[in-house]
Structure 1
């Protein structure tokens, strides 16, 4: 729906949506913004959203954006959340196209790094999550992350007393 947004744009849109959904109820805007920032950070960590830094002019702009943009990630559902009918009206920001190939390579690189850190830390919960992400990523973009999946699966097997 929006291509890619700066984090601040996404935060402002979600704060506005929260205000509209609450109606006249007074909302502490800074508390809502803080909660939205935390939710966006969690969504990026879990690959529901991904950060994208466009190359010079690659997204149709004359100059690159100074900060990473946020766009839909491989584990996101392709539907608007409940009660988000106002989002298209709130998201009055320039539409930025996203180079799907560059985005896929960026996400693959990030996944590779996250997998290495999860394996090194023996973080079983993160390893399980990243295993799921490998399947979602291959369905989402034309990438082959079988090598990453194999490394994660080996680490999971090694930590499981029944299989390792």
Structure 2
């Protein structure tokens, strides 16, 4: 099973948030139900990293243990501002199979985490002089502001200035 970023977001959305390990288990269950196969761990890791880079997924570190991850150092992945969550075929029953309670991420903390990651991505794109990435991040800035209570005016100005140079 090769899951798209939107499918990863769809599976995560079924639970409100999942750790990487829980997402891998959920996709393994869906793949097994679909055709008896397992998910390629390397391909899944790459897909998750790409979904994080595109802001289809956002990594969120819950402030309290009741709301979150199974280990203190393992954050939750939640659907991000660019995702159009789509549940892959055979994954709709995964919440009944996995022993994971529904999570309810705090929107402000989620926005903070996404904003920090966005600022880091802007720094990286400016340092690399990557105009395509700068334009993509400019578009994402509007999605992110609509998705979470954040103000990205300063980052957007930096992006625009970098594109004008």
Q: TM-score range by the shorter chain?
A: 0.7 to 0.9
Q: Sort the Cα spacing of 1:91 and 1:154 in 2 relative to 1 into closer, same or farther, 3 A.
A: farther
Structure 1 residues 123 and 90: CA distance shift in structure 2, 3 A: farther
Taking CA–CA contacts closer than 8 Å with sequence separation of 6 or more, which of the two structures ends up with the larger relative contact order? 2
**What are the ranges of 5 or more consecutive residues in structure 1 without an aligned counterpart?**
159-164
TM-superposition CA deviations, 1:109-162 (whole Å, max 9, x none): 11111101211110112112211110110110121112111211221222xxxx
Is 1:3 the equivalent of 2:11? no
In the alignment, which of 112, 115, 125 is matched to residue 132 of structure 2? 125
Residue aligning to 2:151: 144
1:5 partner SS:
coil
1:1-164 to 2 correspondences below 5 Å: 1-23=14-36, 27=37, 29=38, 32-57=40-65, 59=67, 65-77=72-84, 79-83=85-89, 84-158=91-165
Change in 2 beyond 3 A, CA 1:11/1:144: same
What TM-score results when the alignment is normalised by the length of structure 1?
0.80
- Report the RMSD for the aligned CA atoms in angstroms: 2.3
Q: 1:112 to 1:2 in 2, by over 3 A?
A: same
Say which one has the larger Rg.
1
For this pair of structures, how many residues does the alignment match? 151
1:9–1:64 Cα change, 3 Å = closer
**Higher helix residue share:** 2
Render the CA deviation track for 1:12-61: whole Å, top value 9, x for unaligned.
111221221125xxx3x3x6232222211111111100111112347278
Any stretches of 5+ residues in structure 2 without a counterpart?
1-13
* Residues in 1 aligned to 2:66 and 2:111: alpha-carbon distance in whole angstroms: 14
The secondary structure found in structure 1 opposite 2:78 is strand
Structure 2 partner of 1:161 = none
Change (3 A) 1:60 1:88: closer
